[in-house]
Amino acid sequence: MCGFVGFTNTKNDSNKIIEAMMDKIKHRGPDSGGKHVDGDIALGFRRLSIIDITESGDQPIYNEDGTKVLLFNGEIYNYQSIREELIKAGHTFKTKTDSEVLLHGYEEYGEKLLNKLRGMFAFVIWDTVKKELFGARDFFGIKPLYYADMDGTFMFGSEIKAFLVHPDFKKVLNEAALENYLTFQYSPCAETFFKGVFKLPPAHYFKYKGGKLDITRYWDVEFKPDNTPDLDKWVDEISDIFHNSVEAHKISDVEVGSFLSSGVDSSYVAAVANVDKTFTVGFGEDEKYNEIGWAKEFSKYIGKENISKVITPEEYWGNISKIQYHMDEPLADPSCIALYFVCNKASEYVKVVLSGEGADEIFGGYNIYKEPMSMPAYNAIPRPIRRGIGAVASKLPAKRGVNFLVRRGKDLEERFIGNAYMFSEKERKTLLKIKTDAPNAMEITRPFYDKVKDADAVTKMQYLDLHLWMTGDILLKADKMSMANSLELRVPFLDKEVMAVAERIPTKYRVTDKNTKFAMRKAALRSAPPQTANKKKLGFPVPIRVWLKEDKYYGIVKEHFTSPAAEHFFNTEMLVKLLDDHRSGKADNSRKIWTIFIFLVWYKVYFE
């Protein structure tokens, strides 16, 4: 695990520049660093030693004749079998690392190497003869890869903050990203909050040569339900492939731990992994916000040690600015801060942890996925009538029954953009003083819905979440919060072989009107106690709605809502009204308030 940075080299002081960029991401790799600088390119690397922890695993790594140079962030879990193939083909290895497999594999197979890999990765290979840069990102987007082309300099790396010290970098806010963020709670488009800085999408590779950038998709999820096996056979398949994936994800020359909440995903991981230590955080003593009791009981059940921490409100609020710095882009998911603390605690004991991210998206775990199956009688009402009822209901004050009529008056593609829907287009236009050319939510989601237009509603929702929500929120915070603490986080659910099983499971075994992750939960029952395997999904509960009613934290947010930055971007009287209505109990505006507040904190960190 590590971080890397680089740029096409047209500067006299490239050594100094690349070292400054490397320093910005030292938290990703505190164990060692390395660089390659020639007349065409500068490459920098920071290493967290996990496999082949000797100096032989340091990067950059060169091929036999020194004509190709590799920088790599991630882990390749099937590297040993690929290594054997390459040795038989005549390649000579200098190290025992998984990194070197990518270098020789690219020599042997070109971009076809990517579909041979099993793992999480972002890497670049510089060809000193062709003067060509090749870069790739893993299947699900577990590892990040950013790039920018400014003043003839092509920059690339694991974190945006490294670009800021390059003399050709122009730091300009992408205001369209702000408008999209207000709806999604994260940045959903390829262009980031920094104008001209882009994310390479998951399952894509690029080639850069002579100032020209070409990007290509090499893999995608394909849901192809197979109705032949019965439920028991699917449970067997899930159990077998998940045990196989966990074993692969445990490959390491250092100790591996596991995160643990009260939910089925992390419990299943911890039980199968058979690690010595599990890690949990919570808030206060209320079980609604504190899963430590559950985690300790479960750890006792599997005979492992649980290490926990209760996060105080002061700690949570006191670290928001630092965490937004590490995020690179604002993320309004309150759980990312809690994730920072569990990573911090785990890093005191281990270098690698397993976690349960991805199970909900691939096996159908979110409660919202049950919506298409609820109230079948109402669904039978002709579409024009439902739309008319919804239009009338939308003019009434929002409450539970009314919200149902409004949502069911819309097609799935209109009402579902993922697990967060903060501000509608109308709300965000009213809230913002600035004018942008941001696309509306449906323009962003349409390309994904178009790819599964013939699928059932649940499959459509899963496909959308796999490509937007999971990458833009779940995996972003997993990478940034773990790396902020020099900790490698591995996600055995997000494995290409697990996905190959999951995409064949019929919808009826993924989601029912009463349960989510139906078949996966049954598989988990073989390793976890029923009270855990059957537990309703909680997420990562954070008591922000409670805190925002307290004088201290209300005051902190109000100060941001009336700041010069807020005055520049927003109609601040509307911000204060959101805050006051929440405090008085007129409405639960906590998530909307948090979305704006986090942007203002992030803006202060990076632009003030």
Which residues are catalytically annotated? 2
Distance CA(182)–CA(427), nearest Å, equals 9
Distance CA(272)–CA(412), nearest Å, equals 36
The amino acid at residue 400 is: R
DSSP code at position 186: S
Per DSSP (E only), the strands in 94-196 are: 119-127, 132-137, 146-150, 153-157
| Kind plus residue range of the DSSP H or E element containing 62 | strand 61-62
Q: Which residues, other chains included, contact 231 with Cβ-Cβ below 8 Å and sequence gap of 6+?
A: 509, 519, 522
Exposure class string for 219-229: b at 16+ Cβ within 10 A, else e: bebebebeeee
Cβ–Cβ < 8 Å for 9, 37: yes
| Cis geometry, peptide bond prior to residue 60 (ω within 30 degrees of 0) | yes
Helices (H), 281-356: 292-301, 313-318, 320-327, 335-347
Cβ–Cβ < 8 Å for 149, 213: yes
Cβ–Cβ < 8 Å for 478, 265: no
**Phi and psi angles of residue 97, each rounded to the nearest 5 degrees, phi first:** -80, 160
Name the residue among 167, 190, 193, 172 with its Cα closest to residue 182: 193
Cβ–Cβ < 8 Å for 490, 354: yes
Name the residue among 157, 520, 526 with its Cα closest to residue 328: 157
**Phi and psi angles of residue 178, each rounded to the nearest 5 degrees, phi first:** -60, -45
| 41-47, strands of its sheet edge to edge | 32-37, 41-47, 2-8, 153-157, 146-150, 197-199
CA distance to 101, 489, 504, 515, per residue, from 203 (Å): 19, 19, 20, 31
Distance CA(301)–CA(574), nearest Å, equals 50
Cβ–Cβ < 8 Å for 579, 554: yes
Q: Given its phi and psi angles, is residue 251 left (phi above 0), alpha (psi -120 to 50 degrees) or beta?
A: beta
| Residue 202: count of CB within 10 angstroms of its CB | 23
| Residue 474: count of CB within 10 angstroms of its CB | 26
How many residues does the structure list for the chain? 608
Name the residue among 248, 475, 245 with its Cα closest to residue 361: 475
Q: Which residues, other chains included, contact 405 with Cβ-Cβ below 8 Å and sequence gap of 6+?
A: 389, 390, 393
Write down the number of H helices and E strands in the chain.
29, 17
Radius of gyration of the chain (CA): 24
Name the residue among 100, 203, 89 with its Cα closest to residue 142: 203
| Kind plus residue range of the DSSP H or E element containing 481 | helix 475-484
